[in-house]
Amino acid sequence: MVKPTAKKLGRNAPCHCGSGRKYKDCHLLAEEAARSEQLRLRQAQDTLLPKIIEAAQSVPDQFPPAFDRFWQGKYEYGVEQMEKLSTVEDRGSERFLTWFAFDFRQADGRTLVDQLDDAVEIGGFDVDPFERRLLSQWRRVRLRPYVVAEVRKGKGLSLRDLLGDAMYEVADHGASKRLAPGEVVVGHLISADTAPGAEAPTYYLAGAAAQLTDDTAEKLLEFAELHLADLRRRVPDATWDDVVDQRSEVLNHFVIALPQEQRDPTVMERIIAEGRIGLQLTAESVAALLGRTLPSDDE
Protein backbone atom coordinates (compact mmCIF):
# COMPACT_ATOMS: atom_id res chain seq x y z
CA MET A 1 0.00 0.00 0.00
CA VAL A 2 1.07 3.54 -0.66
CA LYS A 3 1.57 5.96 2.18
CA PRO A 4 0.36 9.46 1.38
CA THR A 5 3.46 10.93 2.99
CA ALA A 6 3.30 14.37 1.46
CA LYS A 7 -0.19 15.15 2.65
CA LYS A 8 0.55 14.47 6.27
CA LEU A 9 4.05 15.85 6.39
CA GLY A 10 4.39 19.56 7.06
CA ARG A 11 6.55 21.53 4.63
CA ASN A 12 9.02 22.38 7.38
CA ALA A 13 9.07 18.95 8.99
CA PRO A 14 12.14 16.76 8.48
CA CYS A 15 11.80 14.80 5.26
CA HIS A 16 10.58 11.22 5.58
CA CYS A 17 13.60 9.91 3.68
CA GLY A 18 15.85 10.60 6.65
CA SER A 19 18.13 13.06 4.85
CA GLY A 20 17.84 15.49 7.76
CA ARG A 21 16.66 18.26 5.43
CA LYS A 22 13.26 19.92 5.58
CA TYR A 23 10.61 18.20 3.51
CA LYS A 24 10.09 21.28 1.32
CA ASP A 25 13.80 21.31 0.47
CA CYS A 26 13.98 17.58 -0.16
CA HIS A 27 11.27 15.29 -1.54
CA LEU A 28 8.27 17.67 -1.67
CA LEU A 29 8.61 18.84 -5.27
CA ALA A 30 9.33 15.43 -6.73
CA GLU A 31 6.35 13.95 -4.94
CA GLU A 32 4.04 16.73 -6.04
CA ALA A 33 5.18 16.20 -9.61
CA ALA A 34 4.61 12.45 -9.36
CA ARG A 35 1.10 13.00 -8.01
CA SER A 36 0.24 15.47 -10.71
CA GLU A 37 1.53 13.10 -13.38
CA GLN A 38 -0.51 10.27 -11.90
CA LEU A 39 -3.61 12.45 -12.05
CA ARG A 40 -2.97 13.50 -15.64
CA LEU A 41 -2.50 9.88 -16.73
CA ARG A 42 -5.69 8.88 -14.99
CA GLN A 43 -7.54 11.68 -16.77
CA ALA A 44 -5.95 10.63 -20.06
CA GLN A 45 -7.32 7.15 -19.53
CA ASP A 46 -10.83 8.62 -19.25
CA THR A 47 -10.50 10.73 -22.40
CA LEU A 48 -8.49 8.37 -24.63
CA LEU A 49 -10.88 5.43 -24.67
CA PRO A 50 -13.85 7.45 -26.01
CA LYS A 51 -11.56 8.87 -28.72
CA ILE A 52 -10.59 5.34 -29.76
CA ILE A 53 -14.20 4.17 -29.79
CA GLU A 54 -15.16 7.20 -31.85
CA ALA A 55 -12.39 6.39 -34.32
CA ALA A 56 -13.78 2.86 -34.56
CA GLN A 57 -17.01 4.32 -35.93
CA SER A 58 -15.05 5.75 -38.87
CA VAL A 59 -14.21 2.32 -40.32
CA PRO A 60 -17.73 0.84 -40.53
CA ASP A 61 -16.87 -1.30 -43.56
CA GLN A 62 -14.82 -3.45 -41.19
CA PHE A 63 -17.75 -4.02 -38.83
CA PRO A 64 -19.53 -6.91 -40.61
CA PRO A 65 -16.53 -9.33 -40.72
CA ALA A 66 -15.48 -8.33 -37.19
CA PHE A 67 -19.04 -8.71 -35.94
CA ASP A 68 -19.24 -12.18 -37.42
CA ARG A 69 -16.05 -13.26 -35.68
CA PHE A 70 -16.87 -11.78 -32.29
CA TRP A 71 -20.44 -13.12 -32.13
CA GLN A 72 -19.58 -16.36 -33.98
CA GLY A 73 -22.29 -15.72 -36.55
CA LYS A 74 -24.98 -15.53 -33.84
CA TYR A 75 -25.94 -12.00 -34.92
CA GLU A 76 -25.68 -10.26 -38.26
CA TYR A 77 -24.21 -6.79 -38.29
CA GLY A 78 -26.62 -3.91 -38.58
CA VAL A 79 -27.23 -0.59 -36.85
CA GLU A 80 -30.41 -1.90 -35.26
CA GLN A 81 -28.67 -5.07 -34.15
CA MET A 82 -25.96 -3.00 -32.49
CA GLU A 83 -28.62 -1.21 -30.46
CA LYS A 84 -30.37 -4.44 -29.52
CA LEU A 85 -27.12 -6.01 -28.35
CA SER A 86 -26.87 -3.63 -25.44
CA THR A 87 -29.75 -5.52 -23.86
CA VAL A 88 -29.71 -8.96 -25.51
CA GLU A 89 -26.08 -9.47 -24.52
CA ASP A 90 -25.09 -7.51 -21.45
CA ARG A 91 -23.54 -4.27 -22.84
CA GLY A 92 -22.94 -6.23 -26.04
CA SER A 93 -22.34 -3.35 -28.41
CA GLU A 94 -19.81 -1.78 -26.06
CA ARG A 95 -18.04 -5.11 -25.60
CA PHE A 96 -17.88 -5.54 -29.35
CA LEU A 97 -16.50 -2.05 -29.98
CA THR A 98 -13.80 -2.48 -27.33
CA TRP A 99 -12.72 -5.80 -28.87
CA PHE A 100 -12.90 -4.24 -32.34
CA ALA A 101 -10.52 -1.47 -31.28
CA PHE A 102 -7.98 -3.54 -29.32
CA ASP A 103 -8.06 -7.01 -30.91
CA PHE A 104 -9.49 -7.08 -34.41
CA ARG A 105 -6.91 -6.84 -37.18
CA GLN A 106 -7.80 -4.42 -39.94
CA ALA A 107 -7.10 -5.17 -43.59
CA ASP A 108 -3.42 -4.22 -43.17
CA GLY A 109 -2.91 -6.59 -40.23
CA ARG A 110 -2.75 -3.87 -37.59
CA THR A 111 -5.32 -3.33 -34.87
CA LEU A 112 -7.16 -0.02 -34.74
CA VAL A 113 -5.11 0.95 -31.66
CA ASP A 114 -1.91 0.20 -33.66
CA GLN A 115 -3.16 2.32 -36.54
CA LEU A 116 -4.10 5.23 -34.28
CA ASP A 117 -0.77 5.10 -32.44
CA ASP A 118 1.06 5.17 -35.77
CA ALA A 119 -1.20 7.97 -37.02
CA VAL A 120 -0.22 10.24 -34.12
CA GLU A 121 3.23 10.71 -35.73
CA ILE A 122 1.73 12.17 -38.88
CA GLY A 123 -0.96 14.20 -37.17
CA GLY A 124 -3.73 11.78 -38.08
CA PHE A 125 -4.94 11.25 -34.53
CA ASP A 126 -5.11 14.07 -32.05
CA VAL A 127 -3.93 13.18 -28.54
CA ASP A 128 -2.15 15.01 -25.73
CA PRO A 129 1.24 13.73 -24.49
CA PHE A 130 -0.33 11.74 -21.66
CA GLU A 131 -2.85 10.06 -23.94
CA ARG A 132 0.03 9.35 -26.30
CA ARG A 133 1.95 7.46 -23.64
CA LEU A 134 -1.07 5.33 -22.81
CA LEU A 135 -1.90 4.68 -26.46
CA SER A 136 1.55 3.15 -27.06
CA GLN A 137 1.17 0.89 -24.01
CA TRP A 138 -2.33 -0.14 -25.07
CA ARG A 139 -1.11 -1.71 -28.34
CA ARG A 140 -0.41 -4.90 -26.41
CA VAL A 141 -3.82 -5.05 -24.70
CA ARG A 142 -6.13 -7.91 -25.70
CA LEU A 143 -9.33 -9.45 -24.43
CA ARG A 144 -8.40 -11.87 -21.63
CA PRO A 145 -10.13 -13.82 -18.84
CA TYR A 146 -9.43 -12.93 -15.21
CA VAL A 147 -10.51 -14.48 -11.93
CA VAL A 148 -11.47 -12.17 -9.07
CA ALA A 149 -8.95 -12.93 -6.33
CA GLU A 150 -9.93 -10.27 -3.83
CA VAL A 151 -12.50 -7.48 -3.58
CA ARG A 152 -12.15 -4.26 -1.65
CA LYS A 153 -15.73 -3.03 -1.72
CA GLY A 154 -16.11 0.43 -3.19
CA LYS A 155 -12.35 0.70 -3.83
CA GLY A 156 -11.01 -1.91 -6.19
CA LEU A 157 -10.13 -5.52 -6.73
CA SER A 158 -7.29 -7.92 -7.43
CA LEU A 159 -7.61 -9.92 -10.62
CA ARG A 160 -5.60 -13.02 -11.49
CA ASP A 161 -4.99 -13.74 -15.15
CA LEU A 162 -6.73 -17.06 -15.80
CA LEU A 163 -4.16 -17.71 -18.55
CA GLY A 164 -0.95 -17.38 -16.63
CA ASP A 165 -1.43 -16.42 -12.98
CA ALA A 166 -0.18 -12.80 -13.09
CA MET A 167 -1.96 -10.58 -10.54
CA TYR A 168 -3.28 -7.10 -11.25
CA GLU A 169 -4.53 -4.40 -8.90
CA VAL A 170 -7.58 -2.86 -10.50
CA ALA A 171 -9.08 0.49 -9.52
CA ASP A 172 -12.72 0.05 -10.45
CA HIS A 173 -15.24 1.12 -7.85
CA GLY A 174 -18.21 -0.13 -9.83
CA ALA A 175 -16.72 -3.57 -10.50
CA SER A 176 -15.70 -3.90 -6.85
CA LYS A 177 -19.35 -3.62 -5.88
CA ARG A 178 -20.66 -6.02 -8.52
CA LEU A 179 -18.07 -8.79 -8.33
CA ALA A 180 -17.24 -11.45 -5.75
CA PRO A 181 -14.11 -13.58 -5.33
CA GLY A 182 -14.02 -16.57 -7.69
CA GLU A 183 -16.10 -14.86 -10.37
CA VAL A 184 -14.66 -14.33 -13.82
CA VAL A 185 -14.21 -11.15 -15.84
CA VAL A 186 -13.60 -11.34 -19.59
CA GLY A 187 -12.39 -7.92 -20.53
CA HIS A 188 -9.58 -5.55 -21.43
CA LEU A 189 -7.23 -4.63 -18.61
CA ILE A 190 -5.37 -1.41 -19.31
CA SER A 191 -2.64 0.23 -17.29
CA ALA A 192 -2.81 3.96 -16.77
CA ASP A 193 -1.22 5.75 -13.83
CA THR A 194 1.16 4.45 -11.20
CA ALA A 195 0.55 5.76 -7.70
CA PRO A 196 3.63 7.48 -6.21
CA GLY A 197 5.62 4.88 -4.32
CA ALA A 198 3.72 1.95 -5.83
CA GLU A 199 5.71 -0.82 -7.48
CA ALA A 200 3.17 -1.66 -10.16
CA PRO A 201 0.81 0.45 -12.26
CA THR A 202 -2.85 0.75 -11.46
CA TYR A 203 -5.08 -1.11 -13.90
CA TYR A 204 -8.56 -0.31 -15.16
CA LEU A 205 -11.13 -2.29 -17.06
CA ALA A 206 -11.54 -0.63 -20.45
CA GLY A 207 -14.99 -0.38 -21.93
CA ALA A 208 -17.40 -3.13 -21.01
CA ALA A 209 -16.42 -6.54 -19.66
CA ALA A 210 -18.43 -9.75 -19.43
CA GLN A 211 -18.96 -11.07 -15.91
CA LEU A 212 -19.33 -14.80 -15.27
CA THR A 213 -20.28 -16.79 -12.20
CA ASP A 214 -17.68 -18.58 -10.09
CA ASP A 215 -18.42 -21.99 -11.60
CA THR A 216 -17.02 -20.93 -14.99
CA ALA A 217 -13.29 -20.33 -14.35
CA GLU A 218 -12.13 -23.92 -14.62
CA LYS A 219 -14.26 -24.66 -17.68
CA LEU A 220 -13.25 -21.47 -19.46
CA LEU A 221 -9.61 -22.42 -18.91
CA GLU A 222 -10.29 -25.89 -20.28
CA PHE A 223 -11.98 -24.33 -23.31
CA ALA A 224 -9.10 -21.91 -23.88
CA GLU A 225 -6.63 -24.79 -23.62
CA LEU A 226 -8.23 -26.36 -26.68
CA HIS A 227 -7.21 -23.28 -28.63
CA LEU A 228 -3.71 -23.27 -27.20
CA ALA A 229 -3.38 -26.95 -28.17
CA ASP A 230 -4.72 -26.16 -31.64
CA LEU A 231 -2.12 -23.39 -32.17
CA ARG A 232 0.63 -25.74 -30.99
CA ARG A 233 -0.14 -28.18 -33.76
CA ARG A 234 1.41 -25.66 -36.13
CA VAL A 235 3.61 -23.67 -33.75
CA PRO A 236 4.84 -26.01 -30.98
CA ASP A 237 5.96 -23.21 -28.66
CA ALA A 238 2.78 -21.10 -29.00
CA THR A 239 1.83 -19.30 -25.76
CA TRP A 240 -1.28 -17.80 -24.21
CA ASP A 241 -0.24 -14.45 -25.64
CA ASP A 242 -0.43 -16.01 -29.10
CA VAL A 243 -3.91 -17.35 -28.38
CA VAL A 244 -5.30 -13.96 -27.35
CA ASP A 245 -3.36 -12.19 -30.07
CA GLN A 246 -4.78 -14.42 -32.80
CA ARG A 247 -8.23 -15.42 -31.58
CA SER A 248 -9.34 -13.66 -28.41
CA GLU A 249 -12.89 -13.71 -29.80
CA VAL A 250 -13.18 -17.37 -28.78
CA LEU A 251 -13.42 -16.16 -25.18
CA ASN A 252 -16.57 -14.31 -26.17
CA HIS A 253 -17.87 -17.43 -27.90
CA PHE A 254 -17.66 -19.18 -24.54
CA VAL A 255 -19.42 -16.24 -22.85
CA ILE A 256 -22.37 -16.10 -25.26
CA ALA A 257 -22.91 -19.88 -25.12
CA LEU A 258 -23.46 -19.74 -21.35
CA PRO A 259 -27.01 -19.78 -19.96
CA GLN A 260 -28.18 -16.34 -18.84
CA GLU A 261 -30.69 -17.39 -16.21
CA GLN A 262 -29.19 -20.11 -14.08
CA ARG A 263 -26.07 -22.20 -13.72
CA ASP A 264 -25.87 -25.29 -15.87
CA PRO A 265 -22.65 -27.33 -15.87
CA THR A 266 -23.87 -29.48 -18.77
CA VAL A 267 -23.84 -26.41 -21.01
CA MET A 268 -20.14 -25.87 -20.32
CA GLU A 269 -19.37 -29.53 -20.96
CA ARG A 270 -21.17 -29.16 -24.28
CA ILE A 271 -19.23 -25.99 -25.22
CA ILE A 272 -15.96 -27.84 -24.57
CA ALA A 273 -17.06 -30.98 -26.40
CA GLU A 274 -18.18 -28.93 -29.41
CA GLY A 275 -14.95 -26.94 -29.32
CA ARG A 276 -12.94 -30.16 -29.35
CA ILE A 277 -14.93 -31.51 -32.30
CA GLY A 278 -14.68 -28.20 -34.17
CA LEU A 279 -10.90 -28.17 -33.75
CA GLN A 280 -10.64 -31.91 -34.38
CA LEU A 281 -8.88 -32.59 -31.11
CA THR A 282 -9.16 -35.50 -28.70
CA ALA A 283 -8.55 -35.35 -24.95
CA GLU A 284 -5.34 -37.31 -25.60
CA SER A 285 -4.08 -34.98 -28.30
CA VAL A 286 -4.83 -31.90 -26.14
CA ALA A 287 -2.91 -33.39 -23.23
CA ALA A 288 0.02 -34.26 -25.49
CA LEU A 289 0.11 -30.78 -27.07
CA LEU A 290 0.02 -29.14 -23.64
CA GLY A 291 2.77 -31.45 -22.39
CA ARG A 292 0.60 -33.27 -19.89
CA THR A 293 -0.12 -36.89 -19.20
CA LEU A 294 -3.72 -37.98 -18.81
CA PRO A 295 -4.60 -39.75 -15.58
CA SER A 296 -4.63 -43.45 -16.44
CA ASP A 297 -7.83 -45.44 -16.11
CA ASP A 298 -6.59 -48.02 -13.63
CA GLU A 299 -5.74 -45.47 -10.93
> Residues interacting with Zn ion, by CB under 5 A?
15, 17, 19, 26-27
Complex with Zn ion: residue 17 or 277, whichever CB lies closer: 17
User: At 244, is the secondary structure helix, strand, or coil?
Assistant: helix
CA-to-CA distance for 19 and 154, rounded, in angstroms?
Answer: 37
Smallest distance from Zn ion to CB 19, Å: 5
Cβ proximity to Zn ion, 10 vs 123, nearer residue: 10
Q: Residue 133: how many CA atoms within 13 Å on its side-chain side?
A: 14
CA distance 252 to 271: 12
| Integer Cα distance of 225 and 56 in angstroms | 31
CB-nearer residue toward Zn ion: 19 or 36: 19
The number of CA neighbours under 13 Å toward the Cβ of 296 is 2
Rounded least distance, CB 10 to Zn ion, Å: 13
Cβ distance to Zn ion smaller for residue 17 or 180: 17
Least distance between Zn ion and beta carbon 6 (Å): 11
Residue 50 CB, shortest distance to Zn ion, in Å, is 39
Coil, strand or helix at 106: coil
Between 31 and 117, whose beta carbon lies closer to Zn ion?
31
d(CA 162, CA 58): 33
Which of 259, 278, 251 is closest to 96 using CA atoms? 251
Closest distance to Zn ion from the beta carbon of 198 (Å): 18
Kindly state the greatest CA–CA separation across the chain.
Answer: 75
Q: Could you tell me the CA-to-CA distances from 210 to 17, 137, 184, 222, 272 in Å, in that order? A: 44, 23, 8, 18, 19
Cβ-based nearer residue to Zn ion, 25 or 269: 25
CB of 15 or CB of 206, closer to Zn ion = 15
Name every residue whose Cβ is closer than 8 Å to that of residue 151 and which is 6 or more positions away in sequence: 157, 176, 179, 180, 181
Instruction: State the minimum distance, in angstroms, from the CB of residue 27 to Zn ion.
Output: 4
At 189 the three-state DSSP class reads strand
CA gap 66, 33 in Å, rounded: 42
**Residue 177: enclosing H or E segment and its boundaries?**
helix 173-178
How distant is the alpha carbon of residue 5 from its chain centre? Answer: 32
Q: Least separation, in Å, of the C-beta of 17 and Zn ion?
A: 3
Nearer to Zn ion, 11 or 292 (CB): 11
Beta carbon of residue 31, minimum distance to Zn ion (angstroms, whole number): 9
